[in-house]
């Protein structure tokens, strides 16, 4: 069996959003709409922290992430393969 990783509720919401839209760009406004939150610097910073924590828990290299890519000025894209059973 695989390793068990615990996620906070906020991290789990972001991960679920990525898993529902694999290999598709998700803009910050789309994230805000899907996850709730008020636009602005505090939402952006909170999202940056959630993405950073997700990357760490998923074993990503912070200098060269391969699973969750930042597309500067546009948003994020989850590059993992997702198979629902």
Q: What separation, in Å, do the N-terminal and C-terminal C-alpha atoms of the chain show?
A: 17
Residue 52 forms part of a structural domain: yes
Domain ranges, residue 39 = 11-78
Residue 84 forms part of a structural domain: no
pLDDT of residue 39: 60
- What CATH number is attached to the domain comprising 26? 1.10.10.10
Average pLDDT over residues 3-26: 92
Measured CA distances, 50 to 2, 35, 57, 83 (Å): 23, 12, 11, 23
Strand, helix or coil at 20?
A: helix
Residue 24 forms part of a structural domain: yes
Please give the tally of structural domains in the chain.
1
Residue 6 forms part of a structural domain: no
pLDDT of residue 75: 92
Please tell me which residue, 35 or 70, carries the higher pLDDT value.
70
In this structure, how many other beta carbons lie within 10 angstroms of the beta carbon of residue 13?
A: 16
Residue 83 forms part of a structural domain: no
Whether residue 59 has pLDDT greater than 60:
yes
């Amino acid at each position: 069996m695989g390793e068990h990783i615990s996620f906070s509720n906020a991290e789990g919401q972001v991960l679920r959003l990525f898993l529902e839209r694999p290999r598709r760009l998700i803009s910050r406004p789309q994230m805000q709409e899907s996850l709730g939150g008020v636009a602005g610097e505090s939402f952006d910073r909170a999202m940056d922290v959630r993405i950073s924590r997700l990357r760490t828990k998923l074993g990503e290299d912070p200098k060269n992430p391969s699973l969750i890519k930042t597309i500067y000025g546009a948003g994020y894209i989850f590059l993992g393969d997702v198979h629902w059973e």
